[in-house]
Amino acid sequence: MTEPDIAYGDLTFQDSHPGQLAAVATLLGLTPPPVDTARILELGCGTGFNILAMSQALPSAHCTGIDYSPVQIQRAQTAAASIGATNIEFRCESIQDFPAPPASFDYIIAHGVYSWTSAETRDALMTVVERCLAPNGVAYISYNTYPGWRSRIVARDILTFFAQPGATPEERVRQSREGAARLIPAITNPDSLYGQTLQAEVAPLLNAPDYYIAHEYLVENNFPTYFQDFAAHAGRFNLQYLAESRLFANSFVLGGDLRKAIDDNAGTDILRREQYLDFLIGCCFRQSLLCHSVAPVSREIEAERILPLSVSLTAEILDTTPEAWRIRTHIGAEFTVDDKPIVQVLALLRQHGPAPVPAHAFIQPVIEALGMHSLAALGGTIIAGILLAGWSRGLWILRADTPSLVNAASPNPLACPLARLQAQQTNRCTNRLHRTVILTPDEQAFLQQLDGTREVAPGPALARLAAEGFLIA
């Protein structure tokens, strides 16, 4: 596989965090390994910041990242050394040659690998998961999917058409972007289905980051697949499909007309249901969880599976009234919430700041706030239903980890070392909940100073960093 010279960036991916993977697995009847002390492997880790952030928030876990690029592994090792990370190792190895013994990892992550490698490497990836995943472990694999990528293939063909083979990676990105910019206004029939599709797929790429165009559209290998074919591939390695990492992306939590369409046309088989869902929504990307084929998966969700987990707010609260709250989810969807139980949970989460709140802690306050004292005996079941509904709508996530953070700053505040390192180069920093937070220039500069040695007066910047989950003391 040809390696683009344009680095993909020091990115982190919230949906790949083991705390979230374990929560989904728990919901579906499995007993995944404890996250706080887990053995975590990332295949194709790039510059390592995704798993490095996990190692910092989970100091008792042991993390391993591998990548075939010596340049990217050097960057990962340098970053880890600069922040004093001791529970992580980075190794420059190919997936095909990875020598880990059987059942040596509880969670395996492969983000941005499966669709962007050769068939041999995809087989090697599945081989590693089958061999190295603990009996009750969970693997996360992201990949591009059809039917959504059918139209994006045309966009990819256009970009590669303009990129000259002998040019440098930077020049190829510039050539492809400039060529696409000339092509869009010259489309002969912009109102046709083809013209509208082309504009929708190509126009956003004109402002996309260079690394995204280089790795997603100009890279030598990019092989989308249908979900059913991915699941069949996993099955050949004694692995079964568990769910999508984002709960609300799963067919088994949908309601309304979409749920009825799936019920009527895809039956009860989970693989047919998920594939049918992709046809309905034009899915172009999945973040699928796998487990061993012998694992006893159950999609009949029961309250007792939810109550041992913790709840972490992911939606941004835009506005509130006594009757309704306006929110924005972390994928950008905005809507009004007027369901009283949901609003009550949002209010309680906001009071607790960034730290995850145990699910069972909501039972008494929510029952009392809603005046449901006569149903106190059913409090656990009621709260579990409310939490599941909010999770499926993207308001919060349930998680199975206890990230290391504090809600209030000490006189000498200490911020996450990795976030301080990120703030030296970007305003997009990863908090202890593995979420990317966009900081103002003042907040970005202030974050770099919070090394625990300085006495800091309270102020808006410190309050924001505390509220966003960056502080560990």
pLDDT digits (tens, 9 = 90+) for 21-46: 999 999 999 999 999 999 999 999 99
386: which 2 tokens? 């409310």
3-state secondary structure 165-212: CCCCHHHHHHHHHHHHHHHHHHCCCCCCHHHHHHHHHHHHHHHCCHHH
Q: What average pLDDT does the segment 337-342 reach?
A: 90
Core vs surface per residue 84-105: b (16+ CB within 10 A) or e: ebeebebeeeebeebebeeebb
Residue ranges of alpha helices (H) inside 236-378 are 256-266, 270-281, 303-306, 340-351, 363-369
Between 169-183 and 149-162, two packed helices, what is the crossing angle to 10 degrees? 110
Categorize the per-residue pLDDT at 373 as very low, low, confident or very high, splitting at 50, 70 and 90: confident
The answer to whether residues 6 and 388 touch, using CB atoms and an 8 Å cutoff, is no
Res 392: pLDDT: 87
Categorize the per-residue pLDDT at 3 as very low, low, confident or very high, splitting at 50, 70 and 90: very low
What is the amino acid identity at position 181? Answer: A
What is the amino acid identity at position 219? Answer: V
Q: Which fold has domain 14-147+224-292?
A: Rossmann fold (3.40.50)
Q: What average pLDDT does the segment 271-286 reach?
A: 97
Q: What is the mean pLDDT of the chain?
A: 93
The answer to whether residues 136 and 108 touch, using CB atoms and an 8 Å cutoff, is no
Categorize the per-residue pLDDT at 5 as very low, low, confident or very high, splitting at 50, 70 and 90: low
Residue-wise pLDDT tens digits, 87-119: 999 999 999 999 899 999 999 999 999 999 999
Q: Which has more pLDDT, 50 or 1?
A: 50
Q: Which has more pLDDT, 84 or 341?
A: 84
Q: How far apart are the first and last CA of the chain?
A: 44
Distance CA 41, CA 64 (A): 5
Q: Report DSSP state, residue 425.
A: T
Q: What average pLDDT does the segment 285-310 reach?
A: 93
Distance CA 145, CA 155 (A): 15
233: which 2 tokens? 């591939």
Res 192: pLDDT: 96
Between 49-57 and 70-82, two packed helices, what is the crossing angle to 10 degrees? 30
Between 441-449 and 460-467, two packed helices, what is the crossing angle to 10 degrees? 80
| Contacts for 318 with CB less than 8 Å, ≥ 6 apart | 326, 327, 328, 334
Distance CA 252, CA 256 (A): 12
Pairing state of beta strands 325-328 and 316-320?
Answer: antiparallel
Question: Helix, strand or coil for residue 67?
Answer: strand
Question: Helix, strand or coil for residue 287?
Answer: strand
- Residue boundaries of the structural domains of the chain: 14-147+224-292, 149-217, 303-399, 417-467
Q: Which has more pLDDT, 366 or 227?
A: 227
Distance CA 443, CA 465 (A): 8
Res 372: pLDDT: 80
Residue 2 scores a pLDDT above 60: no
Residue 4 scores a pLDDT above 70: no
Distance CA 315, CA 330 (A): 6
The answer to whether residues 205 and 155 touch, using CB atoms and an 8 Å cutoff, is yes
Residue 396 scores a pLDDT above 60: yes
Res 407: pLDDT: 83
Q: What average pLDDT does the segment 358-367 reach?
A: 91
Res 1: pLDDT: 40
Name residue 207's beta-bridge partners.
none
Distance CA 66, CA 91 (A): 5
232: which 2 tokens? 């069949």
Segment (H or E) for 430:
strand 428-430
Q: Cis ω on the peptide bond leading into residue 296 (within 30° of 0)? A: no
Residues found in the chain: 473
Residue 330 scores a pLDDT above 90: no
